[in-house]
């Protein structure tokens, strides 16, 4: 009765092989590598780049283990750090002939040392979380109200321009949180205006209202919910893109930039320890606006301080219309203007250029301000007189130091944010702490496992050995599954592995106790094994389901480190049911199943209340009969 059909053994064998294959890459460690990725949207990295990298390395006489293209970047692995540095220098010179205008990012990195055939099988090592590797983690909240406000501002100036182009008379445009109101002197012009506006701003729904004074009519525009959603989704998307570009400027090897929830972005930069610098580039929440100056500060709808050359601050009134915004900036670079002052040379896109031309034509000799909004506060970084009509190319001069122009150029070049962001969570972990955490987690699992194994082997003898093997198999499957899913291993994740193993042994204890109990009841050994496993199965299923419920709740509601814990925990429960029941049964069947006249099983001493202890048969068990009576008896 304790025989497995061949297919069950083959399932076990396949699971074992797959488990070994996918666990293997985790043991090879990491080797120095160089990663080449694109520094500009216009530069594409593809298979031909990989060939180019190989050529450059060959020409420089640097030998790489391999050069591969992985979808977004080209990576080359090297035997040691010296070769890696040499390769980086060679690649840097060859790919970026003009150092000031880098087309590629050449960064030092680490790659798994696992052989290429494993990588081809997509057997990759687990990704180490920041707490094990060191690095920076930011969670940023995108200010959606500001995104909406900015969109409404743009709509308002578009509407104004459209009405002026058609020479329609209107009495003013008022902004609202999610729409605008345009006043018209009479119904006829309102009707004409409605046609123009509906044509120019299709995402706004217009309705006509009587203003209540004479013949004046109000046209009320509402943003459709869909349009609002689009604006917000677009803002988030653009912010993520911008963050990507900024991170690229930092030259980080494997950044993670992801959306989280409706309005949040996670940024993880492994290896970077200097939060101050990372934050300076990434966390710069600046948005840029170009607006006309209202000379009468009292009448101005918004007043911001302006930075003067001598360091003093002056208040500058701004007109309501936004001529151009930061997201219309196509390029920016630091230069020196004709007066030898540091300046930022800016190029706008077509829309921005057209708006700029229209405004500068009409406002010659007037003042124009470039306003930088950071953390909800505006600052006019430059106020200058419009000297002539200009379009998409112009220079910003202000009280800049050369360093500031370089920073500003970098930020604008990397793209401006569609909506301001705020850092709401930040974590930095030093690399030595990461290594320490790995060691601690590893030690916890090793010693805990050893203690359990020792106890099981002593207490249940051969069945304990089977249980220990099943537990080891469970660990193997768990690590293989995590590697297959390319899950991120964190310290709570390692804790979950330890805990899952500690809990998984429960199933084997249940089985072993049941088998002992059957033996105690006088069942023949083969029968006892059979019934023991069968009876224990129901209980194991029940108890694992309750644990799984807790695990799933954690998975659903946990965030960050708790999620890592929950993933491992849930996976571990599933693998443990397979290994503890099927794998250990396989071992038992393999060992005992073929023996027709089995006299006893090595499961440790089976003590009977009547004092006749049945030792583990085969000479391995203790002789417990005598010892039994020495124990204090429990009276009822």
Partner 1 sequence: MEFFRIRKDIPFMRHALVLNVISFITFALAVFFLATRGLHLSIEFTGGTLMEVEYAQAADIGRTRAAVETLNLGEVQVQNFGTSRDVLIRLPVRGAGAAAGKGGSDLAAEAFAALCKAEQGQVGSRQYTTPQGEQVSRSSCTKGDGSEPLKLQRTEFVGPSVGAELARDGALALAVTVLGIMIYLAFRFEWKFSVAGIVANLHDVVIILGFFAFFQWEFSLAVLAAILAVLGYSVNESVVIFDRVRETFRRMRKLNTPQVIDHAITSTISRTVITHGSTQMMVLSMLIFGGPTLHYFAVALTIGILFGIYSSIFVAAGIAMWLGVKREDLVKAGGGREHDPGDPNAGAVV
User: Binders of partner 1 among 267-326, rule CB under 8 A?
Assistant: 271-277, 279, 283
* Among 502, 526, 537, 578, contact with partner 1 (rule: CB under 8 A): 502
* Among 102, 318, 346, 505, contact with partner 1 (rule: CB under 8 A): 505
Binding to partner 1 (CB under 8 A) within 52-81 occurs at 78, 81
> Which span sits near partner 1 by CB under 8 A: 174-182, 189-197, 323-331, 438-446?
438-446
Binding to partner 1 (CB under 8 A) within 217-276 occurs at 251, 253, 271-276
3-class secondary structure, 608: coil
604 within 8 A of 591, measured Cβ to Cβ: no
Of 253 and 318, the one with the shorter C-beta distance to partner 1 is 253
Pairwise CA distance, residues 571 & 578, whole Å = 11
3-class secondary structure, 560: coil
Q: What are phi and psi of 322, to 5 degrees?
A: -100, 120
* Among 20, 262, 351, 451, contact with partner 1 (rule: CB under 8 A): 451
Q: Rounded to the nearest whole angstrom, what is the least distance from the CB of residue 427 to partner 1 in the complex? A: 5
Q: Rounded to the nearest whole angstrom, what is the least distance from the CB of residue 496 to partner 1 in the complex? A: 8
444 binds partner 1 (CB under 8 A): yes
> Which span sits near partner 1 by CB under 8 A: 4-12, 31-39, 202-210, 583-591?
31-39
Q: What are phi and psi of 392, to 5 degrees?
A: -85, -15
458 binds partner 1 (CB under 8 A): yes
Binding to partner 1 (CB under 8 A) within 128-147 occurs at 131, 134, 139, 141
Of 366 and 520, the one with the shorter C-beta distance to partner 1 is 520
Q: How many CB atoms lie within 10 A of CB 630?
A: 6
619 binds partner 1 (CB under 8 A): no
27 binds partner 1 (CB under 8 A): no
**Residue whose tokens read 């058609």:** 166
Q: Rounded to the nearest whole angstrom, what is the least distance from the CB of residue 428 to partner 1 in the complex? A: 5
Q: Rounded to the nearest whole angstrom, what is the least distance from the CB of residue 436 to partner 1 in the complex? A: 7
Of 351 and 553, the one with the shorter C-beta distance to partner 1 is 553
Of 12 and 453, the one with the shorter C-beta distance to partner 1 is 453
* Among 5, 311, 365, 538, contact with partner 1 (rule: CB under 8 A): 538
In angstroms, how far apart are the furthest CA atoms of the chain?
113
CA atoms within 13 A on the CB side of 523: 16
Pairwise CA distance, residues 435 & 442, whole Å = 11
Binding to partner 1 (CB under 8 A) within 360-419 occurs at 375, 377
521 binds partner 1 (CB under 8 A): yes
Angle between helices 525-557 and 561-577 (to 10 degrees): 160
- Scanning 330-430, the segments in alpha helix (DSSP H) are 350-362, 402-413
Q: Rounded to the nearest whole angstrom, what is the least distance from the CB of residue 453 to partner 1 in the complex? A: 10
Site string for partner 1, 85-124 (x = CB under 8 A): x---------------------xxxx--------------
Q: Rounded to the nearest whole angstrom, what is the least distance from the CB of residue 451 to partner 1 in the complex? A: 4
Of 81 and 331, the one with the shorter C-beta distance to partner 1 is 81
428 binds partner 1 (CB under 8 A): yes
65 within 8 A of 6, measured Cβ to Cβ: no
Of 399 and 539, the one with the shorter C-beta distance to partner 1 is 539
Of 272 and 329, the one with the shorter C-beta distance to partner 1 is 272
> Which span sits near partner 1 by CB under 8 A: 201-209, 333-341, 345-353, 508-516?
508-516
Pairwise CA distance, residues 218 & 183, whole Å = 4
* Among 527, 578, 591, 617, contact with partner 1 (rule: CB under 8 A): 527
Specify the DSSP class assigned to residue 430: -
Q: Rounded to the nearest whole angstrom, what is the least distance from the CB of residue 607 to partner 1 in the complex? A: 4
* Among 448, 465, 469, 526, contact with partner 1 (rule: CB under 8 A): 448
How far apart, in Å, are the Cα atoms of 525 and each of 598, 610, 625? 7, 19, 19
Of 535, 532, 529, 533, the closest CA to residue 592 belongs to 529
51 binds partner 1 (CB under 8 A): no
Which two three-digit tokens encode residue 227?
A: 């349009």
Pairwise CA distance, residues 407 & 250, whole Å = 13
Q: Rounded to the nearest whole angstrom, what is the least distance from the CB of residue 319 to partner 1 in the complex? A: 26
Site string for partner 1, 557-596 (x = CB under 8 A): xxxxxx--xx--x---------------------------
356 within 8 A of 323, measured Cβ to Cβ: yes
Residues making up the chain, counted from first to last: 636
Which two three-digit tokens encode residue 57?
A: 């390395």
Q: What are phi and psi of 428, to 5 degrees?
A: -125, 140
Following DSSP, what letter does each residue of 166-199 receive, concatenated? TT----EEEEETTEEEEEESSHHHHHHHHHHHHH
- Scanning 96-224, the segments in alpha helix (DSSP H) are 116-120, 130-133, 144-165, 187-200
Of 125 and 179, the one with the shorter C-beta distance to partner 1 is 125
Of 113 and 357, the one with the shorter C-beta distance to partner 1 is 113
Q: Rounded to the nearest whole angstrom, what is the least distance from the CB of residue 332 to partner 1 in the complex? A: 25
Pairwise CA distance, residues 466 & 2, whole Å = 15
Pairwise CA distance, residues 247 & 258, whole Å = 13
199 binds partner 1 (CB under 8 A): no
Of 401 and 636, the one with the shorter C-beta distance to partner 1 is 636
Which two three-digit tokens encode residue 38?
A: 């694109």
Pairwise CA distance, residues 636 & 609, whole Å = 14
Burial category of 298 from C-beta neighbours within 10 Å (exposed 0-12, middle 13-18, buried 19 and up): exposed
């Amino acid at each position: 009765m304790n025989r497995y059909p061949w297919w069950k053994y083959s399932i076990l064998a396949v699971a074992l092989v797959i488990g070994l294959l996918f666990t293997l890459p985790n043991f090879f460690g990491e080797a120095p590598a160089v990663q080449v990725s694109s520094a500009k949207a216009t530069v594409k990295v593809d298979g031909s780049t990989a060939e180019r990298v190989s050529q450059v390395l060959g020409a420089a006489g640097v030998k790489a283990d391999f050069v591969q293209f992985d979808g977004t970047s080209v990576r080359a692995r090297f035997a040691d750090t010296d070769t890696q540095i040499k390769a980086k220098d060679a690649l840097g010179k060859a790919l970026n002939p003009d150092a000031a205008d880098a087309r590629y990012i050449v960064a030092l990195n680490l790659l798994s040392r696992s052989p290429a055939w494993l990588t081809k099988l997509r057997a990759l090592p687990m990704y180490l979380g920041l707490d094990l590797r060191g690095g920076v983690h930011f969670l940023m909240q995108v200010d959606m109200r500001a995104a909406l406000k900015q969109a409404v501002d743009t709509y308002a100036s578009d509407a104004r321009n459209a009405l002026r182009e058609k020479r329609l008379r209107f009495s003013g445009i008022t902004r609202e949180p999610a729409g605008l109101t345009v006043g018209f002197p009479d119904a006829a012009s309102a009707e004409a205006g409605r046609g123009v506006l509906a044509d120019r701003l299709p995402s706004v729904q217009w309705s006509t209202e009587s203003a209540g004074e004479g013949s004046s009519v109000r046209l009320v525009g509402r943003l459709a919910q869909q349009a609002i959603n689009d604006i917000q989704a677009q803002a988030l998307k653009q912010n993520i893109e911008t963050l990507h570009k900024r991170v690229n400027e930092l030259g980080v090897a494997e950044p993670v930039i992801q959306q989280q929830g409706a309005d949040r972005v996670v940024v993880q930069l492994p290896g970077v320890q200097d939060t101050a610098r990372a934050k300076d580039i990434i966390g710069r929440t600046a948005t840029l606006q170009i607006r006309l100056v209202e000379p009468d500060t009292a009448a101005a709808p918004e007043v911001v301080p302006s930075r003067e050359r001598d360091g003093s601050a002056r208040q500058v009134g701004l007109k309501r219309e936004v001529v151009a915004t930061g997201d219309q900036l196509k390029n920016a670079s630091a230069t020196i203007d004709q007066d030898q002052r540091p300046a930022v040379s800016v190029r706008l896109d077509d829309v921005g250029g057209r708006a700029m031309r229209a405004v500068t034509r009409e406002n010659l000799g007037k003042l124009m301000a470039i306003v930088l909004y950071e953390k909800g506060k505006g600052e006019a970084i430059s106020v200058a007189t419009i000297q002539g009509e200009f379009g998409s190319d112009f220079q910003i001069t202000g009280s800049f130091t050369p360093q500031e122009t370089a920073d500003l150029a970098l930020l604008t070049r990397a793209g401006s944010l569609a909506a301001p962001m705020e850092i709401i969570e930040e974590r930095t972990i030093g690399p030595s702490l990461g290594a320490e955490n790995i060691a601690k987690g590893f030690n916890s699992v090793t010693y805990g496992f050893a203690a359990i194994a020792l106890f099981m082997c002593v207490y249940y003898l051969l069945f304990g050995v089977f249980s220990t093997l099943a537990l080891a198999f469970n660990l193997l499957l768990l690590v293989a599954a995590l590697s297959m899913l390319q899950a991120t291993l964190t310290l709570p994740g390692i804790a979950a592995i330890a805990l899952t193993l500690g809990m998984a042994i429960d199933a084997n204890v249940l089985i072993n106790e049941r088998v002992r109990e059957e033996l105690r009841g006088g069942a023949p050994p083969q029968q006892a094994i059979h019934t023991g496993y069968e009876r224990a199965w129901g209980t194991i299923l029940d108890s694992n389901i309750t644990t799984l419920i807790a695990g799933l709740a954690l998975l659903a509601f946990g965030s960050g480190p708790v999620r890592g814990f929950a993933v491992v925990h849930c996976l571990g429960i599933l693998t443990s049911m397979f290994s503890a029941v099927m794998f250990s049964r396989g071992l038992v069947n393999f060992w005992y199943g073929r023996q027709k006249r089995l006299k006893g099983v090595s499961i440790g001493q089976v003590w009977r209340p009547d004092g006749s202890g049945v030792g583990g048969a085969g000479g391995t068990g203790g002789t417990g009969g005598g010892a039994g009576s020495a124990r204090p008896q429990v009276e009822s």
